[in-house]
């Protein structure tokens, strides 16, 4: 496989862009290589600047549930472009989108559109603080909620991949207001709540974590958080930027039956366009300006092109339950196939899986929190990643990320991924 053009572009990029990339994990540094520069994508494939094709397991970090350049979304965008790109004024589509989202996501009675997952989570905790009149928040070690100051404490995803879970540049004051607990540890949460009586505005978490690799909530964990929040008047926020409209139409909250007070959503609701949203109970959302005093705004919020893409995508998902059956089946087939391959080779790595998301951790210990995830052999992960890439499979370039399945994956693609995984295991063992 030649990657000459990507290498040239990366060398040039490093002169003009910090680290040569606009988002850290893309740099492939954790897997010891140079990033591939992508020229186009269609269906299940990514195509790079050297003409190599890769079967996709990242799907723009989640949103391309229907595969790349889906015709419906493409047409919606092409039609919308004829009508102008941005007005900074309300549109019919925003109302229709809000109506659609509130009809699908159990916790959301009112919703505000923003431009990224980061904006959604930053805004949501501001609203929770404004609503409760309290300053502190609880987050979980290894969860990632975008790059807002409050969240760059024990953060997952690229922050841990690059060894900066607590980022310089975040003031002590902000850091002091973020309390952290190990994921799946209800007792630790209770201890924090007891020690900070009447001071905690919200608990925010990924109901299934994607950002320390995939970690599932333990039996009773989400229910326990719900009870603590109800008792203490704390706002429970599910960050469903990755899991919303993916693990079930209404997000993981629909699947697990625990309803948060607020929900943050991201890239999926823009069909891949730059979009985020936060929503929740009416009485909480009515604190947001101009209905209430908590300020939050955006020139490009509810952008007509992004709304057109999102509306096409969400309408399709809403009307086609078979999408969820399909990605669930592929998730099961892929993960059981990888397990079978490991068994044949006498390997016992931990494979965590929920629906259409999974992570293979290079450790034989169960992974239920950040400490467990960190026991993975990241160098071995890097070897496996490169062995898969060489065989045309594009995985997330870090141990601390999840893989995402789209409906564009056919049974044949699945067989190719499984063959590649068998050969890659053999290669890294050799």
- Chain residues that interact with ligand PMP, rule: CB under 6 A: 61, 116-118, 121, 144-146, 206, 210-211, 239, 241-242, 266-267, 276
Minimum CB separation from ligand PMP for residue 13, in Å?
Answer: 20
Other residues' Cβ atoms within 10 Å of the Cβ of residue 315: 15
Minimum CB separation from ligand PMP for residue 210, in Å?
Answer: 6
State the catalytic residues: 144, 239, 267
C-alpha 382/C-alpha 32 separation (Å) is 7
Other residues' Cβ atoms within 10 Å of the Cβ of residue 279: 25
Instruction: Say which DSSP state 377 is in.
Output: -
Minimum CB separation from ligand PMP for residue 243, in Å?
Answer: 8
Give the three-class secondary structure for 269: helix
- Cβ proximity to ligand PMP: between 76 and 396 the closer is 396
Give the three-class secondary structure for 361: strand
Minimum CB separation from ligand PMP for residue 165, in Å?
Answer: 15
Minimum CB separation from ligand PMP for residue 27, in Å?
Answer: 15
Q: Are strands 276-280 and 110-114 parallel, antiparallel or unpaired?
A: antiparallel
- In whole angstroms, how large is the CA radius of gyration of the chain? 21
The half-sphere exposure of 191 on its side-chain side, counting CA atoms within 13 A, is 8
The answer to whether residues 155 and 165 touch, using CB atoms and an 8 Å cutoff, is: yes
Residue of 88, 131, 89 whose CA lies nearest to 110: 131
Give strand ranges (E) for 198-267: 200-205, 235-239, 262-265
Extract the tokens encoding 167.
């980022």
- Cβ proximity to ligand PMP: between 397 and 425 the closer is 397
Minimum CB separation from ligand PMP for residue 204, in Å?
Answer: 9
C-alpha 329/C-alpha 142 separation (Å) is 28
- Cβ proximity to ligand PMP: between 217 and 266 the closer is 266
Extract the tokens encoding 265.
């959503």
Other residues' Cβ atoms within 10 Å of the Cβ of residue 219: 9
Which CB contacts under 8 angstroms, 24+ apart, belong to 349-354? 352/213, 352/214, 352/215, 352/216, 353/214, 354/208, 354/214, 354/216, 354/247, 354/252
Minimum CB separation from ligand PMP for residue 371, in Å?
Answer: 20
The answer to whether residues 300 and 86 touch, using CB atoms and an 8 Å cutoff, is: yes
- Cβ proximity to ligand PMP: between 170 and 420 the closer is 170
């Amino acid at each position: 496989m030649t990657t000459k053009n990507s290498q040239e572009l990366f060398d040039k990029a490093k002169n003009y862009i910090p680290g040569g990339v606009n988002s850290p994990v893309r740099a492939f540094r954790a897997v010891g290589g140079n990033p591939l520069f992508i020229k186009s994508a269609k269906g299940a494939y990514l195509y790079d600047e050297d003409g190599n094709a890769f079967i996709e397991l990242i799907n723009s970090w989640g949103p391309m549930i229907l595969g790349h350049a889906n015709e419906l979304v493409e047409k919606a965008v092409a039609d919308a472009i004829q009508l102008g790109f941005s007005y900074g004024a309300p549109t019919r589509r925003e109302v229709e989108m809000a109506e659609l989202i509130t009809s699908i996501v159990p916790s959301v009675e009112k919703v505000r559109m923003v431009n990224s997952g980061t904006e959604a989570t930053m805004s949501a905790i501001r609203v929770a603080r404004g609503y409760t009149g309290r300053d502190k928040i609880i987050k979980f070690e290894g969860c990632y909620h975008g790059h807002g100051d409050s969240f760059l404490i024990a953060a997952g995803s690229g922050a841990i991949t690059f060894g900066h879970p607590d980022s310089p540049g975040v003031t002590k004051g902000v850091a002091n207001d973020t309390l952290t607990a190990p994921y799946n540890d209800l007792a630790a949460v209770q201890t924090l709540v007891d020690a900070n009586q009447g001071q905690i505005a919200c608990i925010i978490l990924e109901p299934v974590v994607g950002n320390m690799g995939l970690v599932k909530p333990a039996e009773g964990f989400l229910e326990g958080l719900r009870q603590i929040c109800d008792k203490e008047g704390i706002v429970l926020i599910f960050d469903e930027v990755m899991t919303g409209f993916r693990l079930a139409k209404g997000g993981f909250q629909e699947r697990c039956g625990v309803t948060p007070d607020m929900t943050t959503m991201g890239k999926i609701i823009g069909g891949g366009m730059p979009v985020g949203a936060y929503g929740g109970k009416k009485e909480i959302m009515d604190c947001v300006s101009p209905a209430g005093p908590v300020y939050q705004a955006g020139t490009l919020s509810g952008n007509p092109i992004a709304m057109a893409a999102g509306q096409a995508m969400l309408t399709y998902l809403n009307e086609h339950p078979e999408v969820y059956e399909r990605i669930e089946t592929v998730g099961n087939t892929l993960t059981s196939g990888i397990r079978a391959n490991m068994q044949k080779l006498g390997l016992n790595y931990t494979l965590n899986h929920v629906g259409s998301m999974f992570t293979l951790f290079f450790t034989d210990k169960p992974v239920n929190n950040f400490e467990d995830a960190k026991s993975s052999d990241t160098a071995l992960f890097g070897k496996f990643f490169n062995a898969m890439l060489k065989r045309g499979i594009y995985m997330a370039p870090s141990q601390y990320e999840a893989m995402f399945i789209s409906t564009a994956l056919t049974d044949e693609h699945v067989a190719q991924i499984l063959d590649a995984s068998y050969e890659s295991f053999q290669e890294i063992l050799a």
